[in-house]
């Protein structure tokens, strides 16, 4: 587990850095890359690309097998995005929300289904990408950039009126909310996935035969739920950023 350095250059002291255990790094000049996360993340990315390519071959009018699975996932992600963002604005955001959901889902499941422990590194060990705080913080920051972009693309500079609506006294709370959203997204996902891996590891160590199996099955279920929660919240934040003042009230009035 690595808490990323907020600021660390040759001229300034690091503001925050915490290392727990050993880690495998790639050093490119003065740049230090987290090799463990890169390896497992690219494994998930390659698996998703291969799955998409295979599902797109020999398309049938009546889907079956892998094509049926991918079409079901597409419909599920489209419905999720439409529910959170709205029917008028949801279409451009389906790829982004879908990418978040699928990457997190496959990353979470890779921690339980892929035997990472069999691959030995010079330092550290491989695990699910989402069990590292660097990955979850990056995903949360991408979500923040997405909903800021959504707000500015829809409202322009009028987006800043959200910070003083309804009363101007809400300004500091709105600014604080922009910081807490990515924090809550990243630490919720990171904490749940890391805790699940630690529980399974302890059970395997103490009772190595049958007791860890139910915990692993429960871990697969909770991992899928965490991917759904992250994608749903990301879509919800994007929808809120594009929402006009009083929109809900007007809809309720027309009803």
pLDDT tens, position by position, 107-143: 999 887 887 777 877 777 788 899 888 899 999 999 9
* Rounded Cα distance, 39 and 42, in Å: 5
Calpha distance 149→59 (Å, rounded): 35
The total domain count for the chain is 1
Answer yes or no: is pLDDT of 244 > 80: no
pLDDT in tens, 137-177: 999 999 999 989 988 888 887 777 777 776 777 677 878 88
Residue 254 lies in a domain: no
Q: Backbone phi, then psi, for 221, in 5-degree steps?
A: -65, -50
Q: Is residue 250 part of a domain?
A: no
Does residue 166 have a cis bond before it (omega within 30 degrees)?
yes
From the number of C-beta atoms within 10 Å of its C-beta (0-12, 13-18, 19+), residue 56 rates as exposed
Q: What is the DSSP letter of 244?
A: P
179 and 140 in contact (C-beta within 8 Å)?
A: no
Domain that holds residue 18: 2-245
The three-class DSSP label of residue 151 is helix
- In this structure, is residue 252 part of a structural domain? no
Banded pLDDT at 254 (limits 50, 70, 90): very low
């Amino acid at each position: 587990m690595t808490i990323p350095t907020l600021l660390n250059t040759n001229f300034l002291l690091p503001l925050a850095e915490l290392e727990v255990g050993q880690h495998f790094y790639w050093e490119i000049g003065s740049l230090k890359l987290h090799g463990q996360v890169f390896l497992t993340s690219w494994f998930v990315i390659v698996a998703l690309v291969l799955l998409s390519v295979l599902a797109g071959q020999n398309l049938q009018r009546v889907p079956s097998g892998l094509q049926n699975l991918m079409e079901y996932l597409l419909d599920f992600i489209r419905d999720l995005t439409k529910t959170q963002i709205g029917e008028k604005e949801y279409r451009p955001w389906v790829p982004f929300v879908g990418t978040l959901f699928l990457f997190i889902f496959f990353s979470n499941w890779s921690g339980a289904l892929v035997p990472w422990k069999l691959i030995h590194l010079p330092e550290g060990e491989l695990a699910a990408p989402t069990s590292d705080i660097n990955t979850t913080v990056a995903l949360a920051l991408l979500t923040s950039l997405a909903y800021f972009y959504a707000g500015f693309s829809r409202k322009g500079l009028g987006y800043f009126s959200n910070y003083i609506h309804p009363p101007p006294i809400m300004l500091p709370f709105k600014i604080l909310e922009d910081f807490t959203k990515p924090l809550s997204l990243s630490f919720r996902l990171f904490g749940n996935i890391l805790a699940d891996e630690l529980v399974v590891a302890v059970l395997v160590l103490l009772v190595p035969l049958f007791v860890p199996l139910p915990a692993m099955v429960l871990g697969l279920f909770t991992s899928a739920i965490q991917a759904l929660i992250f994608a749903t919240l990301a879509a919800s934040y994007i929808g809120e950023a594009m929402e006009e003042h009083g929109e809900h009230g007007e809809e309720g009035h027309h009803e």
